[in-house]
Amino acid sequence: MMTAIQTANTLSTTAFWAAATASLLPLLAFGTIMVFFLKKPKWAACISIAAVSGSLVAGGILVVRHWGMTAPVEWSVSWAVSGDVSVPFGFLIDPLSLLMLVIVTVICFLVQIYSLGYMAGDPGFGRYYGCMSLFAWAMITLTLSATLLQLYIFWELVGLASYLLIGFWFEKFSASTAGKKAFVMTRLGDVALFMGIILILLHLGNVNIRQINGPEAAAAMSPAMITTAALLVFGGVIGKSAQFPLLTWLPDAMEGPTPVSALLHSATMVAAGVFLFARIHPFFSLSPTAMTVCLLVGTVSMLLSSTMAMVSRDIKQVWAYSTISQLGFMIMGLGAGGYFAGVFHLATHAGFKALLFLCSGVFIHAFHTNDMFEIGEAGGRSLRVPMLCMVIAAAALSGLPPFSGFFSKEAIMSALAAHSNPVWLWMGLFGAFLTAYYTFRLIFVILSPRNASRKARGEDSAEHRFMAGPLLILAAVTVVLGFFNLELARFLGYGKVHVEAHHGRLLYAALGAAFSGLALAWIEFGRRGAAQEGFVERIPPLFELFAERWYIDRFYRKFLDTVIYAGISRNCTENDRRVIDGVVDGIGKSAAAGGRLLAGLHLGMIQYKLMVMFAVIFMLAIYFFF
């Protein structure tokens, strides 16, 4: 039930309408497209792009009005009240939500523009833009949520929209299977997240984000309860951001259209998990145990996914593994206490990862294959704009100067260096080496194909030129964003700079790791006469281990077959057949037997009944008269 509007630190009227506009326009577009314009692709695209453009403008207005803000502002209403428990619903505006709002709207806008060329002629064009609007609405409202429960609702809607987009070409069995796998595996984390929210609600009395991050949480919950709640919430982060052990659904999600991959991997779906971690980072910081677990999970995810990327030939899967790896880096930064480092890498990663996927989409669209070796031999380097943009994004992903990833990765390394345990820093440097190696392995394979004699057949069509606009914009962002790190730090710190101290030796170590990976990739794949065979491929057991994703999927398959299907499912089936069906069958048989008995009593048998009656009368006569 809605009650009075809260007045403390409330939004101004203009800011409220800007937030409401940013949130609701994509929802209005979704409803309009699905009801009226599903079969009119041009109208569907215009409506969806206009809606997300409106959200982008509204987000810009919010940023301008609240630049230099000294405290979060909020508009909320009491959605439900039961005793002392209150659940508000509304908008929370602070630097993190504003930053995420801008990132989401910019990426959604560019991806939808790019899709005009990539999805041209697809029979599901209208449905595609309807799903895009649904996704934008869910993700934008998630970033502005004032409570964890509200965030959870839109968290689930993001999962639903992702399922629809990943399985967009549902006629393909692999696409529908990938959509179901993503839906089921992320639900496992969502169950843990929901339990964590309930735990906080029961002890704190509400799930308002400002109070969860304030001193009220430490006063109302014991340290053990804070650790338990934080770990349960982190379970949701693991599922949504594809961290260990729930990381194998993300590479399979590449079955969706490439613009969808760019959308999901850059700043939206998978980044929602890291956003949640940053959203209640003060609450996590109350539990050193929970922070250590987060640090461990991020590190393991980063290393495992990097090894998987080293042996993959699928260009989209390599970037998918790199997404898991970079999300691991972000969680490592946040887990080490580097709030700015984690959020900064989230921002830079949004730009260069969207750029990598959109460039890959041009290659796939031109050469009709995902195999990087086939793209290289077919003349991939002849597509100059996507090739140049992908090299820029790859350099940023590898942490090379002067691109944005260099600045944000250095911030993460500084946060790890400030940790009391040096193991995390060494793992981070090793991860930087692996990242540069697998990234430039892909670049060199396309730039320096082993068999370049084949005639290039890539087409620099009008559609590709149309798709080039978003690529150039994202490339420019990747080049310049890192130089605004101090301004971004001031914005996130409410006017105070919280950038971790830079260490001279650490800078050289990070650069040394990145350039070492690049040099090894050049020796094995880029130099003239290179066999284009990695050192991992020369060790068959290691190659098989990485190619089989450390047998994680096989373990899940074995677990499902032996525990779920052969254990729980079989016992449930036997219980249903023997107990449930047995009782029902027994009742039926008893009714039939009773019916037969009663039917027998209603037969004629006059002589038999007269004989019995005469015998009874005769016995009574003997009893009374003799």
Reduce the DSSP state of residue 78 to 3 states and report it: strand
Structure tokens at 90: 């509304």
Alpha helices in 494-580 (DSSP H): 504-521, 540-547, 552-559, 570-574
Q: How far is Cα 349 from Cα 335, in angstroms, rounded to an integer?
A: 18
Counting Cα atoms < 13 Å in the Cβ hemisphere of 423 gives 6
Q: Does residue 26 form part of some domain? A: no
Beta bridge partners of 208: 147
Same domain, 294 and 347: yes
From 509, 533, 557, the end of a domain falls on: 533
The DSSP line for 196-210 is HHHHHHHHHS--BHH
Q: Hey, which bits of 535-625 come out as E strands?
A: none
Q: Does residue 575 form part of some domain? A: yes
Q: Are the C-beta atoms of 400 and 518 separated by less than 8 Å?
A: yes
Same domain, 576 and 519: no
Q: How far apart are the first and last CA of the chain?
A: 88
Q: What is the DSSP letter of 6?
A: P
Q: Are the C-beta atoms of 382 and 375 separated by less than 8 Å?
A: no
Q: Does residue 503 form part of some domain? A: yes
Q: Are the C-beta atoms of 380 and 367 separated by less than 8 Å?
A: yes
Within 8 A by CB and 6+ apart from 557, the residues are none
Q: Give residue 572's domain range.
A: 565-625
Within 8 A by CB and 6+ apart from 571, the residues are none
The confidence score (pLDDT) of residue 550 equals: 92
Within 8 A by CB and 6+ apart from 63, the residues are 98, 101, 102
Structure tokens at 376: 């290289």
Q: Does residue 259 form part of some domain? A: no
3-state helix, strand and coil shares in percent for the chain, rounded to the nearest 5: 75, 5, 20
Counting Cα atoms < 13 Å in the Cβ hemisphere of 255 gives 23
Residue 438 has phi, psi (to 5 degrees) of: -70, -25
The confidence score (pLDDT) of residue 7 equals: 45
Q: How far is Cα 293 from Cα 170, in angstroms, rounded to an integer?
A: 38
Same domain, 487 and 618: no
Q: Does residue 573 form part of some domain? A: yes
Nearest CA among 160, 45, 155, 59 for reference residue 105: 59
The confidence score (pLDDT) of residue 122 equals: 86
325-364 residues labelled b (16+ CB within 10 A) or e (exposed): bbbbbbbbbbbbbbbbbbbbbbbbbbbbbbbbbbbbbbbb
Q: Are the C-beta atoms of 498 and 489 separated by less than 8 Å?
A: yes
Same domain, 299 and 361: yes
pLDDT in tens, 374-421: 999 988 888 889 999 999 999 999 999 999 999 999 999 999 999 999
Sole residue written with tokens 């009240």: 81
Nearest CA among 310, 300, 354 for reference residue 332: 300
Same domain, 519 and 569: no
How far CA 601 is from CA of 25, 596, 598, 606, in Å, comes to 77, 9, 5, 12
The DSSP line for 373-441 is HHHHHTTGGG-HHHHHHHHHHHHHHHT-TTSHHHHHHHHHHHHHHTSS-THHHHHHHHHHHHHHHHHHH
Q: How far is Cα 16 from Cα 514, in angstroms, rounded to an integer?
A: 45
Same domain, 435 and 359: yes
Q: How far is Cα 447 from Cα 442, in angstroms, rounded to an integer?
A: 9
Q: How far is Cα 280 from Cα 204, in angstroms, rounded to an integer?
A: 14
Residue 66 has phi, psi (to 5 degrees) of: -115, 15
Structural domains in the chain (count): 2
Name the amino acid, one letter, at 417. A
Q: How far is Cα 503 from Cα 496, in angstroms, rounded to an integer?
A: 20
Q: Does residue 386 form part of some domain? A: yes
The confidence score (pLDDT) of residue 259 equals: 86
- Residues in the chain, pLDDT under 50: 1-8, 494-495, 497-498, 500-501
Same domain, 500 and 620: no
Q: Does residue 539 form part of some domain? A: no
The confidence score (pLDDT) of residue 142 equals: 94
Q: Are the C-beta atoms of 30 and 73 separated by less than 8 Å?
A: no
Same domain, 353 and 422: yes
Q: How far is Cα 38 from Cα 15, in angstroms, rounded to an integer?
A: 33
131-141 residues labelled b (16+ CB within 10 A) or e (exposed): bbbbbbbbbbb
Reduce the DSSP state of residue 93 to 3 states and report it: strand
From 533, 551, 583, the end of a domain falls on: 533
Same domain, 439 and 344: yes
Same domain, 516 and 446: yes
- Is the backbone peptide bond immediately before 470 cis, with ω within 30 degrees of 0? no
156-187 residues labelled b (16+ CB within 10 A) or e (exposed): bbbbebbbbbbbbeeeeeebbebbebbbebbe
Structure tokens at 56: 């982008």
Same domain, 369 and 315: yes
From 510, 533, 556, the end of a domain falls on: 533
Same domain, 364 and 296: yes
pLDDT in tens, 427-482: 999 999 999 999 999 999 999 888 765 555 555 566 666 678 889 999 999 999 99
Q: Does residue 135 form part of some domain? A: no
